[in-house]
Amino acid sequence: MEISQTRDVFTPTKPARIAFVERDSVNNKLVNSLTTPGKQIVVYGHSGTGKTTLLANKLTQLYERHITTRCMKGLKFEQLLLDAFDQLSPFYTLEKQAVIKTSSGVDIGASYNAIQANISLNSATDKSEKHTRLLPPQLTAQALGRFLGAQQACWVLEDFHKIDETEKAQLSQLMKVFMDLSDEYPELKIIALGAVDTARQVVDYDHEMRNRVAEVHVALMTEAEIASIILKGESALNVQFNPEIKRLVVRHSNGLASVCHHLCLNMCNAAGLTETAGGAPVILTQEHCEHAIKTYVDEASDSIKSAFDKALKVRRKTQYENASLILEAVSALAEGGAARTDIYNRIRRAETKYPEANLKYLLPKLCTLEYGGILRYDSNSGLYSFSDPIYRAYALAQFQKRSTPSSANSQSDFEQTLLRLLTAKINSDTGSEIKITINRITTKRQ
């Protein structure tokens, strides 16, 4: 049996490889687009649905090589080009001898090295302290396309939605250039990934490019897909989760594979398992599960709290505790999400005069990172839900303190453990919060 490390099988924070599960709903479309010369690709869908992982696995299966540029807010388009150019450097310095020529007879390696020399020359004479690198005029979109194409590489732009609108427009132009070069370099293409609702929010390309850009939507994982992750993990590590635990982990992951990876990894850790078990399979029990949830809550609690702080922060004086009311309503409704009208009706049960405008205003905001990104909106179903199941549990625990826990008996062991641990956490945190508030007041008076 092949020995694997548990952390390489259950991968909550990196792309899954060993426990990678094929995504049947998008696989064909993505593979076809990847193998169609000149086809540019936009992969989109909520954060955590598995875009990066899917692409990483497909590229390993299908592509000679690819380079990846991670996008950040404020990054200029020129820096993107330079980053791609830099990443090609090992291929051109290693293969100096092998002369690659374009159809018109230009030596690509030589022109790569010429531009590289030009860049280092510019940076060397740059006396300002900040090391700004200028894009040399020779490094055109065309030139970059040839450098990539000659290495049979495609270019992946991770989190392209973070780039400013003004810079984004240039990508559409670049895609056009790459399409035109595909005759000569069939592998050349750009794959832009974005955690957004529509492909157009990633790249707003021209109408005429419509048929040459594939839009691949990666949805949340289905329960069957999540269950397959556990199965793959079981066989890679020679472990067995009790069926009840499996069912709970699947249900509570709520479409997010990272939650499943996290809980399974924690359970292995609780059992002291760091790699594939030798001999008889290791059985993972309820006790390991409870331990795993505790670790999960401990690890997540800081980021949960900071997300809720952002959501609940009072930004202007209003009659209602809007964010609280909304989150409480969403937590009381179905786990899979609720439409705005359902949320509205739910709030009105307690606050009969609650203005709908408040909800209309704040609900989309609660999906943004500025407000903690606690909720997400699915444009296909029209439903709002918690973006991570642990947020829902936290909201339930938080708001349960106010209301009577009437539905407690319908909750599973998992939920009860989660709620119990989160409630304990909240209570201990509230203690420290009060102290902070008192401190502030005292300082004000002085």
Ligand X SMILES: Nc1ncnc2c1ncn2[C@@H]1O[C@H](COP(=O)(O)OP(=O)(O)O)[C@@H](O)[C@H]1O
User: Which residues form the interface with ligand X (CB under 6 A)?
Assistant: 11-12, 15-16, 19-21, 23, 47-54, 195, 229, 257-258, 261
229 binds, among Mg ion, ligand X, none (CB under 5 to 8 A by kind): ligand X
218 or 396: CB nearest Mg ion:
218
Q: At residue 376, what is the residue type? A: R
16 or 311: CB nearest ligand X:
16
Cα–Cα distance measured from residue 116 to residue 278, given in angstroms and rounded to the nearest whole number:
52
50 or 136: CB nearest ligand X:
50
Cα–Cα distance measured from residue 405 to residue 427, given in angstroms and rounded to the nearest whole number:
16
Minimum CB separation of residue 329 from Mg ion in Å reads 30
Minimum CB separation of residue 50 from Mg ion in Å reads 8
69 binds, among ligand X, Mg ion, none (CB under 5 to 8 A by kind): none
257 binds, among ligand X, Mg ion, none (CB under 5 to 8 A by kind): ligand X
326 binds, among ligand X, Mg ion, none (CB under 5 to 8 A by kind): none
162 or 340: CB nearest Mg ion:
162
Minimum CB separation of residue 35 from Mg ion in Å reads 22
The H helix count followed by the E strand count for the chain is: 17, 9
Q: What is the DSSP letter of 159?
A: T
Minimum CB separation of residue 79 from Mg ion in Å reads 20
400 binds, among ligand X, Mg ion, none (CB under 5 to 8 A by kind): none
Cα–Cα distance measured from residue 33 to residue 79, given in angstroms and rounded to the nearest whole number:
27
Cα–Cα distance measured from residue 2 to residue 13, given in angstroms and rounded to the nearest whole number:
23
Minimum CB separation of residue 188 from ligand X in Å reads 23
Cα–Cα distance measured from residue 236 to residue 277, given in angstroms and rounded to the nearest whole number:
9
52 or 253: CB nearest Mg ion:
52
15 or 355: CB nearest ligand X:
15
Token pair of 281, please? 């399979």
11 binds, among ligand X, Mg ion, none (CB under 5 to 8 A by kind): ligand X
DSSP helix/strand/coil, 90: helix
**Which backbone phi and psi does 389 adopt, to 5 degrees?**
-60, -25
15 binds, among Mg ion, ligand X, none (CB under 5 to 8 A by kind): ligand X
Asked if 6 and 237 touch (Cβ cutoff 8 Å), the reply is: yes
276 binds, among ligand X, Mg ion, none (CB under 5 to 8 A by kind): none
Please return the burial class of 243, using the count of CB atoms within 10 Å of its CB with bins 0-12, 13-18 and 19+: exposed
12 binds, among Mg ion, ligand X, none (CB under 5 to 8 A by kind): ligand X
Report which of 271, 270, 262 is spatially closest to residue 300, judged by C-alpha positions: 262
136 or 255: CB nearest ligand X:
255
| Radius of gyration of the chain, Cα coordinates, nearest whole angstrom | 26
Minimum CB separation of residue 158 from Mg ion in Å reads 6
Minimum CB separation of residue 276 from ligand X in Å reads 18
Minimum CB separation of residue 144 from Mg ion in Å reads 23
33 binds, among ligand X, Mg ion, none (CB under 5 to 8 A by kind): none
Report which of 217, 225, 179, 219 is spatially closest to residue 200, judged by C-alpha positions: 217
Asked if 11 and 19 touch (Cβ cutoff 8 Å), the reply is: yes
> Distance of CA 344 to CAs 241, 366, 384, Å?
40, 15, 12
Asked if 375 and 387 touch (Cβ cutoff 8 Å), the reply is: yes
- Secondary structure element (H or E) that encloses residue 190, with its range: strand 190-194
Minimum CB separation of residue 51 from Mg ion in Å reads 5
30 or 115: CB nearest Mg ion:
30
How far does CA 250 lie from the centroid of its chain?
19
* Strand spans (E) along 212-251: 213-217, 239-241
20 or 178: CB nearest ligand X:
20
**Contact residues for Mg ion, defined by CB under 5 A:** 52
Report which of 269, 325, 326, 324 is spatially closest to residue 293, judged by C-alpha positions: 269
DSSP helix/strand/coil, 241: strand
Cα–Cα distance measured from residue 139 to residue 118, given in angstroms and rounded to the nearest whole number:
10
Match 């990054």 to its residue by tokens: 75
54 binds, among Mg ion, ligand X, none (CB under 5 to 8 A by kind): ligand X
47 or 242: CB nearest ligand X:
47
Minimum CB separation of residue 17 from ligand X in Å reads 8
52 or 68: CB nearest Mg ion:
52
Q: Which residue is nearest to ligand X (CB)?
A: 50
Minimum CB separation of residue 54 from ligand X in Å reads 6
How far does CA 254 lie from the centroid of its chain?
15
